[in-house]
A and B are shown apart, each in its own frame.
Chain A
Amino acid sequence: MSRARLARYSLWQFRDFVIDRGIAIMIIGLLWGYTLIAPMRAAMGAAFDVGPGSPAWPLVITVTSSVVSLSVLIALNGVVSADRKMGYYRFLFSKPVSAVAYYAQLFFVYMAGVLAAMLVLAVVLHTVVPTFKILNFLVYAAIIYIAMGGIGFFLSVATRFDWLTLAAVWLGSRILRDFYGDTPGWKSKVVELLPPVHKLTEVSMSIITSGTAHAGAVVWLLGYGALFLALGLLLLHRGSLAD
Chain B
Amino acid sequence: MAVLPPTTPDSHPAALVIEFRNVGKIYRSLLGNSVKAVEEFSLQVGEGEILGIAGPNGAGKTTLIAMMLGYLRPTTGSVEINGMPARTYVERNGIGYLSELIAINPKWRADTALVRYATLAGIPESQIPAHVNTVIEKLGLAEHRDKKVKALSKGNLQRLGLAQALLREEQILVLDEPTHGLDPVWTQRFRDIVEELRRPDRTILIASHNLDELQRLADRVAIIDHGRLQRVVSTGYDQTQQTTTRFRLTLATGHERIRESFPHAEEAGKGEYDVTVRSIQELNTALADLMSRGALISSVVPERSVLEQQFREAVGESQ
Say whether A and B bind each other: yes
A2 to B121, CA, bound (A): 9
Shortest distance from the beta carbon of A53 to any chain B beta carbon, whole Å: 47
User: For residue B93, which residues in chain A have a CB less than 8 angstroms away from its CB?
Assistant: 96
| B97 at the A interface (CB under 8 A) | yes
| B199 at the A interface (CB under 8 A) | no
| B117 at the A interface (CB under 8 A) | yes
> Is B71 a contact of A96 with CB atoms below 8 Å?
no
Interface range for B: 20 to 34
Interface range for A: 20 to 34
User: For residue A98, which residues in chain B have a CB less than 8 angstroms away from its CB?
Assistant: 91
Knowing A9-B116, A242-B72 are in contact, say whether A95-B121 is a contact too (CB < 8 A): yes
| A42 at the B interface (CB under 8 A) | no
Which of B53-61, B100-108, B189-197, B246-254 faces chain A?
B100-108
Count: A-B pairs, CB below 8 Å:
80
> Is B94 a contact of A95 with CB atoms below 8 Å?
yes
| A91 at the B interface (CB under 8 A) | yes
Of A90, A92, A239, the residue contacting B120 (CB under 8 A) is: A92
A92 to B104, CA, bound (A): 9
> Is A91 a contact of B91 with CB atoms below 8 Å?
no
Shortest distance from the beta carbon of A38 to any chain B beta carbon, whole Å: 34
> Is A242 a contact of B91 with CB atoms below 8 Å?
no
Which of A81-89, A113-121, A146-154, A213-221 faces chain B?
A81-89
User: For residue B70, which residues in chain A have a CB less than 8 angstroms away from its CB?
Assistant: 93, 241
A92 to B90, CA, bound (A): 11
> Is B117 a contact of A240 with CB atoms below 8 Å?
no
> Is A87 a contact of B94 with CB atoms below 8 Å?
no
A96 to B69, CA, bound (A): 11
> Is A87 a contact of B101 with CB atoms below 8 Å?
yes
A23-65 at interface with B (beta carbon < 8 Å): none
Knowing A95-B94, A97-B91 are in contact, say whether A90-B122 is a contact too (CB < 8 A): no
> Is B125 a contact of A8 with CB atoms below 8 Å?
yes
Of B103, B105, B107, the residue contacting A90 (CB under 8 A) is: B103
> Is B71 a contact of A90 with CB atoms below 8 Å?
yes
User: For residue A6, which residues in chain B have a CB less than 8 angstroms away from its CB?
Assistant: 120
Interface of chain B, main secondary structure: mixed
**A241's closest neighbor in chain B, by CB?**
B71
> Is B71 a contact of A242 with CB atoms below 8 Å?
yes
> Is A239 a contact of B99 with CB atoms below 8 Å?
no
> Is A5 a contact of B66 with CB atoms below 8 Å?
no
A9 to B116, CA, bound (A): 7
Of B72, B92, B119, the residue contacting A5 (CB under 8 A) is: B119
| A193 at the B interface (CB under 8 A) | no
> Is B120 a contact of A9 with CB atoms below 8 Å?
yes
**A101's closest neighbor in chain B, by CB?**
B91
User: For residue B90, which residues in chain A have a CB less than 8 angstroms away from its CB?
Assistant: 93-94, 96
> Is A240 a contact of B71 with CB atoms below 8 Å?
yes
> Is A94 a contact of B103 with CB atoms below 8 Å?
no
Of B96, B107, B122, B125, the residue contacting A94 (CB under 8 A) is: B96
A5 to B66, CA, bound (A): 24
> Is B103 a contact of A240 with CB atoms below 8 Å?
no
Knowing A12-B116, A89-B71, A91-B97 are in contact, say whether A96-B122 is a contact too (CB < 8 A): yes
> Is B73 a contact of A91 with CB atoms below 8 Å?
no
| B164 at the A interface (CB under 8 A) | yes
Of A89, A90, A96, A241, the residue contacting B121 (CB under 8 A) is: A96
> Is A94 a contact of B94 with CB atoms below 8 Å?
yes
A241 to B120, CA, bound (A): 17
| B178 at the A interface (CB under 8 A) | no
Shortest distance from the beta carbon of A103 to any chain B beta carbon, whole Å: 13
| B161 at the A interface (CB under 8 A) | yes
Knowing A87-B103, A88-B103, A94-B90 are in contact, say whether A239-B73 is a contact too (CB < 8 A): yes
User: For residue B104, which residues in chain A have a CB less than 8 angstroms away from its CB?
Assistant: 88, 91
User: For residue A90, which residues in chain B have a CB less than 8 angstroms away from its CB?
Assistant: 69, 71, 97, 99, 101, 103
> Is B95 a contact of A94 with CB atoms below 8 Å?
yes
A98 to B70, CA, bound (A): 11
A167 to B65, CA, bound (A): 36
Q: Which of A2, A8, A89, A96 has most B Cβ within 10 Å?
A: A96
What residues of chain A have their CB less than 8 Å away from a CB belonging to chain B? 1-2, 5-6, 8-9, 12, 19, 86-98, 239-242
Cβ contacts A to B, 10 pairs, < 8 Å: A5-B121, A8-B119, A86-B103, A90-B71, A90-B99, A93-B90, A93-B91, A95-B117, A240-B72, A241-B72
Beyond the given A6-B120, A88-B104, A91-B104, please list 20 additional residue pairs across the A-B interface where CB-CB is below 8 A: A5-B119, A9-B116, A9-B120, A86-B103, A87-B103, A90-B71, A90-B103, A91-B97, A91-B99, A92-B117, A93-B71, A94-B90, A94-B95, A95-B94, A95-B117, A96-B91, A96-B92, A97-B94, A240-B73, A242-B66
